[in-house]
Amino acid sequence: MTIHKIAVMEGDGIGPEIIQEGIKVLDKVSELHNFEIKWTKYPNGADHYLKTKELISEDTLNEIKSTSDSIYLGALGDPRIKPGILEKGILLKTRFFFDQYVNLRPIKLLEGADCPLKNKGPKDIDFTVIRENTEDFYVGIGNRANTGTTKQELEVIRSLYSIKFGLDIETQGSEIAYQIGVLSQKGSERVIRYAFELAKKRGDTRVTAVDKANVLNHIYGFWREIVEKVSTEYPDIDHEFNFVDAITMWFVKSPEHYQTVVTPNMFGDIITDLGAMIQGGLGLAPGGNINPNGISMFEPIHGSAPKYKGLNVANPLATIWAGAMMLDELGEKKSSSLIVNSIEHLVKQKKILTKDMGGASKTSDIGTELVKIVDELNNK
């Protein structure tokens, strides 16, 4: 029997509660489809950090690397800790450590889910965003430069950005801050190729590439060139370019146009929150951080919602769906689609739903109900 070894990081806030429901449903499916999941919990998150000052250590990451097939993550973020510490120290650290260069975010409106767009339904909202996940403005290169900065450093900053300050920074004490976005040929090419391959596998006819090449021409002009180059390997798939500002408009106006969307990191962060809304809200938006040849990590795209911690009211559907994506990546395709179909069934039947979706059920009721639905649909 196949055994999948999963490292679990429940994280903060509602993390443990929603992960528990994911485990419930995945365990049930594994029973039905004859494989086994071995879960190993890791305590990394706010409490662990406050107790030990450790975010996530190289030792832990290496241990996961040598013992796990995949990572299942709840959510990170805690009001006791300054924003950015846990996100950068655990989430981004793990994405980068495992070189999870694809951030896969299905934007799919399930039958029965509430869509805020007038006259749009499940047929109109069904596309995939592939977000580059290791480069761009996420590389962490930047600083604040004040009057102590050397002339030479200022020259570098000036030329890097072509900024004309119009005043003498050295003598007028005007501080500057800078952060550099970096794209590499390799880093862009691999994620763009992943997008075209996925489009091909799904029979999509078009890939839309996002950028802001009209202004940030150095990096996104480069991105466009790489899209052009990779696209020549896929003569049966059309490609087009959308500016990031325009695509936010088109996602709302004509979501039915989109099939496969590939985007640099930061724009992908922004447009997938919008994507989450048009698919019925953050409660229904899963994501995968994928290294196609390594260890991937699956998570809901929402945060840790600290104010609902421990109340058993949070919506676990995004997390359960992320679990389904994890099974897909592990090769358990049948189990993966059984879970997604079951979620859709649950949403459509509108009986057992959490408060955010207009219901009155508890977090734990959702997993329990899904276990029943999974069983029913499996026997059909």
Q: Which residues of this chain interact with Mn ion, rule CB under 5 A?
A: 269
- Pick one of Mn ion, ligand IPM, none as the site partner of residue 332 (Cβ within 5 to 8 A by kind): none
Q: Which amino acid is at 295?
A: I
Q: Find all residues with CB under 8 Å of 330, minimum gap 6, and list them.
A: 4, 69, 70
Taking each helix axis from N to C end, the angle separating 15-32 and 363-379, rounded to the nearest 10 degrees, works out to 20
Report the C-alpha gap between 191 and 175 in whole angstroms: 37
Burial of 325 (0-12, 13-18, 19+ CB in 10 A): buried
The answer to whether residue 87 forms part of the interface with ligand IPM (CB under 6 A) is: yes
91 binds, among ligand IPM, Mn ion, none (CB under 5 to 8 A by kind): ligand IPM
Question: Is 282 a residue that touches ligand IPM (CB under 6 A)?
Answer: no
Residue 274 binds ligand IPM (CB under 6 A): no
If you search the block for the tokens 């290169």, which residue do you land on? 141
Torsion of CA 85, 72, 267, 328, to 10 degrees: 170
Is residue 36 classed as helix, strand or coil in its secondary structure? Answer: strand
The footprint of ligand IPM on this chain (CB under 6 A) covers a number of residues equal to 5
Chain-centroid distance, C-alpha 9: 16
Nearer Cβ to ligand IPM (91/373): 91
Alpha-carbon distance 135 to 204, whole Å? 26
Q: Which is nearer to Mn ion, 262 or 347 (CB)?
A: 262
- 92 contacts which partner out of ligand IPM, Mn ion, none, CB within 5 to 8 A by kind? ligand IPM
CA distances from 33 to 1, 5, 10, 38, 164 (A): 10, 16, 25, 15, 63
Residue nearest to Mn ion (CB): 269
Q: At its nearest, how many Å lie between ligand IPM and the CB of residue 103?
A: 7
Q: Which does 87 bind (CB under 5 to 8 A by kind): Mn ion, ligand IPM, none?
A: ligand IPM
Q: How far apart are CA 11 and CA 72, in angstroms?
A: 10
Q: Smaller CB distance to ligand IPM: residue 199 or 301?
A: 301
269 sits near ligand IPM (criterion: CB under 6 A): yes
23 or 91: CB nearest ligand IPM: 91
User: Does the footprint of ligand IPM cover residue 92 (CB under 6 A)?
Assistant: yes
Name which of 265 and 335 has its Cβ closer to ligand IPM: 265
Helix, strand, coil percentages (3-state) for the chain, rounded to 5, are 45, 20, 30
Q: Which residue minimizes CB distance to ligand IPM?
A: 87
Among 209, 213, 261, 301, binds ligand IPM (CB under 6 A): 301
- Say whether residue 85 binds ligand IPM (CB under 6 A): no
Query: Is 305 near ligand IPM (CB under 6 A)?
Result: no
Of 86-94, 194-202, 244-252, 319-327, the window that binds ligand IPM (rule: CB under 6 A) is 86-94
What are the angstrom distances between the C-alpha of 203 and each of 81, 186, 242, 298, 356?
45, 26, 21, 25, 34
Among 25, 91, 305, 339, binds ligand IPM (CB under 6 A): 91
| Structure tokens that stand for 80 in this block | 């006791």
Quick one: 138 or 196, whose CB is closer to Mn ion? 138
* Distance of closest approach, residue 287 Cβ to Mn ion, in angstroms: 9
Identity of the residue, 129 or 327, whose beta carbon is nearer to Mn ion in the bound complex: 129
Phi, psi of 156 (to 5 degrees): -60, -45
Q: Which is nearer to ligand IPM, 49 or 196 (CB)?
A: 49
Query: Shortest gap between Cβ of 74 and ligand IPM (angstroms)?
Result: 13
Interface residue list for ligand IPM (CB under 6 A):
87, 91-92, 269, 301
